[in-house]
Structure 1
Amino acid sequence: MSIYSVISGSGKYIPDIVVKNEDFLNRSFINEKGDPIPKSNEEIIRKFQEITDIKERRYLKPEFNTSDMGFFAADEAIKSANIDPETLDYIIVAHNFGDILFNNQKSDMVPSLASRVKHLLKIKNPDCVAYDLPFGCPGWVQGVIQADYYIKSGDAKKVLVIGAENLSRIADPHDIDSMIYSDGAGAIVVEAIESEKPIGLICHKTRSDTFSEAHFLKMDISYHPQFEDNTLFMKMNGRKLYEYALNTVPNLVADTIKKAGIGIEEVKKVLIHQANAKMDEAIIQRVFKIFGIEKMDSASIMPMTISKLGNNSVATVPILYDMIIKGEMPEHTIHSGDYLVFASVGAGMNVNAFVYKVP
């Protein structure tokens, strides 16, 4: 018998405020040179939706923060797993910007969001170690990988892994990319299970490219030259990011599948971070091609939420998993024995993936 890391419960928090593309019609869009974009907002939004497939996104209510979302998702995951929260060995919270007040756009990371979530969960156990993991959009996937290390080493039996992000409050209102970002949180409980056959997290792979790629995503002031202050917003080089993702993600995902000793035909679902629908489609088609499949309909294997939820960074993949498990995406189901691939790419630049066999 060997010890494996198995997901025993999941939860999510999707904010209530729905922001549609037409809500940006009166926005003043400025380019990186500080000049107004010489297109109508109707044309800008039409092209944006055509490329990203984003039609609407969710924003957090002013009275809540990132750690609140993390708590809401964690509480649901703990109840789903039917465990006593005092028995958790670790709480890992993946995020990138900490708590950001609605009227004060500065990152607040002291105490850590994990400490805040543990406090909100009312956990007294001092042996439950809570810490944060800022790792770009791949942070939650990396948190699960770390949880697997703790469990396989015998250091832990139960780990809570949360991905929570509030991107709406760090988006430059004059940047077209602000339409991509959204808010949300997802969480899972990972437990140690004895099994004669491999189950749960089978294998994983991570890479970090920083030599010339480190600053494809960075913080900088508003594009608008007359913006009221020097508030820092998230900025990205979209073209470079797109090229990087297509050049790295397919190979890493394929290598992880091969490492698991299975073929692409055995993978039932690929749960991937979503920032651009066209990019994700290009990624999955390149994965198929690596395995000798020239073209395949990806709709059944790669569930998408981006059109309604936008890009909520570290929360995307756990929210996606929870929605499928809870029957909220009827066209997608997960069954015992299925192989799933979880994958993400983002700031750093970082890419990661793991193969998971459903018990």
Structure 2
Amino acid sequence: MTHPIKSIIAASGSYIPTVRISNEDFIDHCFFDKHGSPLLQDQATVLDKFKAISGIAERRYAQPDQQASDLGFYAAKDALGSSGIDPESLDYLIVAHNFGDVVVGSNRVNMVPSLASRIKALLQIKNPNCVAYDLAFGCPGWLEGVIQATYYIRSGDARRCLVIGTETLSRVTDPYDRDCLLFGDGAGAIILEAAQGSQTGVLAHCTQTHAYEHAHLLLMDRSNAPQQVNSEDIFMKMNGRKLYEFALTNVPLAIKAVLDKAGIPLSAVNKVLIHQANDKMNGAILERLFKLYDMPMPCPEFMPMTISWLGNSSVATIPTLLDLILKGNLANHQINPGDKVVFASVGAGMNINALVYQF
């Protein structure tokens, strides 16, 4: 009997930028509404309400001389260095991002050559059979890269794949829109490899795109204060309320779908690692998920969070969170052999994906 090939996590890495930006750094900042009028509410009140809803107290920004490809390189180097894996043995190098490299002060996207090619060059990988490409899929891009790599591995096309998520959202958000408080910069990575007949690895996954009604809940548009910036610049914008409702309705169903596909009950899951978008929203998603199974809410360790100090770094949130846990760098959280972990994300498109993995 031939045992199936499994896609297993062989290594992880991350890069957390060193520039710490707290909410208090915005105390003298002036925000505008979407109609171009200054927000009249006391700034301290604005920041207090923001923290209460989002859970964010601070976020990290890249250094002025760093770009997304640099952060991705550091995360990849961490994964390779901590595992001793030879970079020349990689069959695929997949980089998830949405805005490419953006130079400080430019607000211009640079994706030629691809970030994957840039990172491959920085890693000094000479093997031409290591295929490097970018993946733009909103915040679920890194998890979708893991899903694609899993297909390559299961098909026998690849033995080892590096999947990176990297972003510098601080350079594409409108500084005059209070939504900019949500976002930070960072990068995370894992190396997946083939294992014949392993009991560990990716058990099931699913992906959805809800574009018909919801494609434009996240989009690029003009600044809330166009008179304050280059009139040609556009920034990431979102319909926060509708996005919240969309995620609350659809993400729990996607998680249930992947558990059903794997034949695993929610009671057998040890952790959920969800995209770090909003503390209140993620808590509501988890509550809705447990209601689907008519189960009481689990302990706080069931859903680890980093959003309070890292903010939302898009494609980097889940791999960074995973790396912190696997290396024992997130207090009160660990993943043990045999644990079943669900990964889930939602973002621009509107895209949703979920994956269940056994360690």
Provide TM-score, normalisation by structure 1.
Answer: 0.98
Alignment partner of 2:107: what SS? strand
For 1:176, the equivalent position in structure 2 comes to 178
Alignment partner of 1:226: what SS? helix
Aligned mates of 1:318, 1:253 — CA distance in 2: 18
TM superposition shift of 1:211: 0.8
Alignment partner of 2:300: what SS? coil
Aligned mates of 1:90, 1:132 — CA distance in 2: 11
Aligned mates of 1:316, 1:110 — CA distance in 2: 25
TM superposition shift of 1:194: 1.0
For 2:217, the equivalent position in structure 1 comes to 216
For 2:24, the equivalent position in structure 1 comes to 22
* Structure 2 runs not aligned, ≥5 long: none
Aligned mates of 2:351, 2:320 — CA distance in 1: 20
Letter in 1 for 2:275: H
Letter in 1 for 2:77: D
Q: Which runs of 4+ in 1 moved over 4 A?
A: none
TM superposition shift of 1:81: 2.8
For 1:319, the equivalent position in structure 2 comes to 320
For 1:93, the equivalent position in structure 2 comes to 95
TM superposition shift of 1:198: 4.0
Aligned mates of 2:221, 2:162 — CA distance in 1: 33
Aligned mates of 1:234, 1:191 — CA distance in 2: 35
Aligned mates of 1:132, 1:267 — CA distance in 2: 31
TM superposition shift of 1:58: 0.2
TM superposition shift of 1:233: 0.7
Q: 1:128-147 CA deviation, whole Å, 9 max, x = no partner?
A: 00000000000000000000
Q: Does the CA-based 8 Å contact 2:223-2:229 persist in structure 1?
A: no
Q: 1:285-318 CA deviation, whole Å, 9 max, x = no partner?
A: 111111111x313411100000000000000000
> Residues 85-164 of structure 1 correspond to what in structure 2 (within 5 A)?
85-164=87-166
Letter in 2 for 1:206: T
* Structure 1 runs not aligned, ≥5 long: none
Alignment partner of 2:329: what SS? coil
Residue 74 of structure 1, aligned match among 67, 73, 76: 76
TM superposition shift of 1:335: 0.8
For 1:200, the equivalent position in structure 2 comes to 201
Structure 1 window deviating more from structure 2 (130-139 vs 217-226): it is 217-226
Q: 1:171-206 CA deviation, whole Å, 9 max, x = no partner?
A: 1110010000000000000000012x5420000000
Alignment partner of 1:107: what SS? coil
Alignment partner of 2:228: what SS? coil
Aligned mates of 1:103, 1:267 — CA distance in 2: 44
TM superposition shift of 1:157: 0.2
For 1:262, the equivalent position in structure 2 comes to 264
Alignment partner of 1:212: what SS? helix
Q: Does the CA-based 8 Å contact 1:15-1:184 persist in structure 2?
A: yes
Letter in 2 for 1:332: H
Provide TM-score, normalisation by structure 2.
Answer: 0.98
TM superposition shift of 1:15: 0.3
Letter in 2 for 1:106: R
> Residues 225-264 of structure 1 correspond to what in structure 2 (within 5 A)?
225-229=226-230, 230-264=232-266
Q: Does the CA-based 8 Å contact 1:13-1:186 persist in structure 2?
A: yes
For 2:336, the equivalent position in structure 1 comes to 335
Structure 1 window deviating more from structure 2 (74-83 vs 184-193): it is 74-83
Aligned mates of 2:272, 2:84 — CA distance in 1: 27
Pair 1:32-2:34 in alignment: yes
TM superposition shift of 1:104: 1.3
CA RMSD in angstroms comes to 0.9
Aligned mates of 1:95, 1:221 — CA distance in 2: 21
TM superposition shift of 1:38: 2.1
C-alpha spacing 1:202/1:273, structure 2 compared with 1 (3 Å): same
Aligned mates of 1:7, 1:225 — CA distance in 2: 46
Q: Does the CA-based 8 Å contact 2:269-2:341 persist in structure 1?
A: yes
For 1:353, the equivalent position in structure 2 comes to 354
Aligned mates of 2:107, 2:178 — CA distance in 1: 19
